[in-house]
């Protein structure tokens, strides 16, 4: 792994743990045991690091977007795809938890963040459109899109709060997915496998 990739990996880990505002470029360099000059050779500062992480997140979401038609063939596939989206969000959770800091504290990132939010909204709407083809939801397109927005906002909120801090991250994601699917339950002819589970999710 090259120095640039090491900087991005370390930055993401620190931002996820402490928040983007609390971490400086010097903190990142110190954590890696490299000189500030070495870091600045690859990135001119923290804003450029955050821009690179936003680009990586954008690429991960784009990959999921391209896979949607191939992987969503049954309602059960919808559940798995929803978990894949949540895993991407969790991996880059600092970008969603600190959205106000990114929009207003890092002026150069505001446009990038807005573009990414539009992409997430589009994925959410297309996800429900695809689900509607697999199992008709019985609602008009306008209402379906509002439901998609509700799912998106709930998913983003789930990245900011831990429903059960004692559980591991994968179980947290399953809990978040179950909450999101609960919003869909009134429109589904039968519960998805995750909603059908009666017992609490176990720790791994």
Range of the domain at 17: 1-44
- Do 57 and 37 fall within a single domain? no
Distance in angstroms (rounded) separating the CA atoms of residues 51 and 47:
6
Distance in angstroms (rounded) separating the CA atoms of residues 200 and 140:
34
- Do 39 and 79 fall within a single domain? no
- Do 19 and 69 fall within a single domain? no
- Do 40 and 128 fall within a single domain? no
- Do 110 and 64 fall within a single domain? yes
- Do 167 and 84 fall within a single domain? yes
The residue whose two tokens read 């909204």 is 121
**112 within a domain of the structure (yes/no):** yes
- Do 61 and 118 fall within a single domain? yes
The predicted pLDDT at position 204 comes to: 43
pLDDT 10s digit of each residue in the chain, 204 long? 799 999 999 999 999 999 998 999 999 999 999 999 999 999 999 999 999 999 999 999 999 888 888 888 887 888 888 999 999 999 999 998 888 777 777 777 888 888 888 989 999 999 999 999 988 999 999 999 999 999 999 999 988 887 677 788 888 898 898 889 889 888 887 766 666 654 445 444
* Surface-to-core class of residue 134, CB atoms within 10 Å of its CB (0-12 exposed, 13-18 middle, 19+ buried): middle
- Do 59 and 106 fall within a single domain? yes
The predicted pLDDT at position 77 comes to: 86
- Do 109 and 138 fall within a single domain? yes
Give the C-alpha distances (Å, rounded to integers) separating 148 from 53, 92, 106, 154. 26, 21, 29, 10
Closest to 50 measured CA to CA, from 3, 118, 96, 84: 96
- Do 31 and 87 fall within a single domain? no
Number of domains within the chain: 2
- Do 169 and 149 fall within a single domain? yes
- Do 11 and 112 fall within a single domain? no
**191 within a domain of the structure (yes/no):** yes
**203 within a domain of the structure (yes/no):** no
């Amino acid at each position: 792994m090259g120095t640039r990739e090491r900087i991005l990996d370390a930055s993401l880990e620190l931002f996820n743990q402490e928040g983007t505002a609390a971490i400086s470029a010097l903190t990142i360099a110190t954590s890696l045991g490299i000189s500030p000059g070495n870091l600045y050779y690859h990135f001119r500062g923290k804003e450029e690091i955050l821009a690179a992480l936003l680009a990586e997140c954008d690429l991960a979401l784009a990959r999921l977007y391209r896979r949607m038609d191939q992987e969503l063939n049954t309602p059960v596939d919808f559940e798995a795809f929803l978990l894949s989206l949540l895993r991407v969000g969790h991996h880059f959770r600092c970008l969603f938890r600190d959205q106000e800091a990114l929009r207003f504290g890092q002026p150069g990132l505001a446009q990038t963040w807005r573009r990414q939010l539009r992409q997430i909204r589009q994925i959410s709407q297309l996800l429900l459109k695809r689900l509607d083809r697999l199992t008709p939801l019985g609602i008009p397109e306008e209402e379906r899109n509002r439901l998609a927005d509700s799912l998106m906002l709930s998913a983003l909120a789930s990245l900011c709060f831990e429903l059960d801090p004692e559980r591991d991250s994968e179980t947290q994601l399953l809990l978040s997915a179950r909450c999101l699917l609960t919003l869909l339950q009134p429109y589904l002819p039968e519960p998805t496998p995750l909603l059908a589970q009666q017992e609490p999710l176990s720790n791994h």
